[in-house]
Structure 1
């Protein structure tokens, strides 16, 4: 039985879901949503804060500032509360309402950016706002997940070794590309210790991570409108792009089997299935979070229709979770 004194010390790192009964592929899902932050971002958050403290850059009484689409903000909110820091999270209008509520409940000061930058979208606008905050107050410390090596080092130390230990015969690993911290940490590890494993990045259509044209993206978590500085494409063997309606369909297919998982998970699995379509390989995909924070979006029929039109196939809308409960 684990006994902890800090919230970031607990994470279920050895849970994998066998997806063969659902999709008929030799595909396993590493679930990273079982910790106090509810997502894989607790690893990067803890690592970045710890390194900043050790270097003397972050000291008692200072204010943490970070740009986040949601999950990192929750993770930093938890760590800031535990260690006594004030925390300002700069997010945008795509952030799930429940995620915003979680951050404010944890004591975070949440700032929501509504207007995109002309050339770098909502992410660019968020980053500029963070820069303005830090320029106005030397007491503000921006961890900057987009350039911070500790972002990927957390996964080099923990996530990748856990996968390698469980699957010594692994052929291919699928990882979603957001800030690319998880991607880079795992890719660097496997290239160093298991170079025969192919690492495939899964990105959202409309993301500029790998040079694609910028476009509208409504599901937070994967994809960016500003290419992260920590991304090194030489460590990635292939890239798959996924349309967001396919993300919704895959999430709902998983839900039909009792697995309520996040939007990024739907994207990664959809990309993995597409890439594996004509290949017979043993594969693992990483699931960053669970699905509760997406009840008002991915799992809401009204939101899906208003956002994407009539994209749901027969039977997929039957899983709508937005209907009111019946009082008996």
Structure 2
């Protein structure tokens, strides 16, 4: 029986869902949402805070500040509450209401950016606001998840070794691309492993992470409006870009089988299935990382009016996915 004193002490690392019965392709989904922050972002948040503490950048009067579309904000809210820091999250209007309320329930302050920067989009506007806060008051400490090596280090040290231990014959790993911390940490680990593992990055259509023109993105989590500083494409074998309508369809398909996952997971699963469908090998061992669960998306992805207003009234009438795999 686990008994803990702080919320950081609990994280379920070894839960996988076999998706073959749902999607018809063999794929194991690593579930990262079973901790008190509800997502994989707890690992990166913990690593970045502990590095800042070791470097002496945090003091009792410090105010942690970070730009986040949601999940990292919740993770930092939890850590701040546990360790006695104040935390201010700068998010934007796409952040789910449940996520904002969770951060506030944990005692954090949330600032919502309502207008995107003409060039940098919502992300650029959020980062500009964070920088202005840090200039105005030196008590603010910006961890900067977009460039902080601790973001990737957390997954090099924890996520990738967990997968390697459970799947010694792993052939391909599917990782969603947001800040690319999870992607880079896992990719670097498996580059050094005893056998080659193909790393497939899954991105949202409209994201500029791997090039291309920016476009509308309404589901928070994956995708960026500027290239992430952490990204090194030499570690990535393939990229799959996923239409948000397909993300919604995959989430609903999983839910119809009793698995309520978040938007990032729907995107990763869609991309993985598209990539696997074009492979000639029939016996690939594949793992996809599911960053979070679906409770925070009940008012968006799982709300019929929201979905139909954005993606059309017939978006859920078919379970056929339109996303196709493409090389990086």
TM over 0.5: yes
Tell me, yes or no, if structure 1 residue 76 matches structure 2 residue 76. yes
Alignment of 1:264-283 (within 5 A): 264-279=264-279, 280=282, 281-283=284-286
Alignment of 1:153-164 (within 5 A): 153-164=153-164
Which deviates the most, 55-64 or 86-95? 55-64
1:258 deviates by 0.4
In the alignment, what sits opposite 2:298? 295
In the alignment, what sits opposite 1:27? 27
TM-score between the two structures when normalised by the length of structure 2: 0.95
Write the deviation string for residues 278-306 of structure 1: whole angstroms up to 9, x where unpaired: 32221100000000000011111100011
Distance 1:267 1:224 in 2: 14
Contact 1:146 / 1:229 at 8 angstroms: preserved in 2?
yes
Structure 2 residue corresponding to 1:308, chosen from 292, 311, 315: 311
In the alignment, what sits opposite 2:287? 284
Write the deviation string for residues 35-56 of structure 1: whole angstroms up to 9, x where unpaired: 0000000000010000000001
Which deviates the most, 54-63 or 32-41? 54-63
In the alignment, what sits opposite 1:228? 228
Distance 1:6 1:160 in 2: 24
5+ long unaligned stretches in structure 1: 317-328
Contact 1:48 / 1:143 at 8 angstroms: preserved in 2?
yes
Distance 2:24 2:308 in 1: 29
1:162 deviates by 0.5
Write the deviation string for residues 67-101 of structure 1: whole angstroms up to 9, x where unpaired: 00000000000000111111000000000000000
Task: Give the 3-state SS of the residue equivalent to 1:141 in structure 2.
Answer: strand
1:195 deviates by 4.8
TM-score between the two structures when normalised by the length of structure 1: 0.95
Contact 1:63 / 1:140 at 8 angstroms: preserved in 2?
yes
Contact 1:8 / 1:43 at 8 angstroms: preserved in 2?
no
Distance 1:93 1:315 in 2: 29
Change (3 A) 1:213 1:195: farther
Count of matched residue positions in the alignment of Structure 1 and Structure 2: 316
In the alignment, what sits opposite 2:55? 55
Distance 1:49 1:248 in 2: 33
5+ long unaligned stretches in structure 2: 320-328
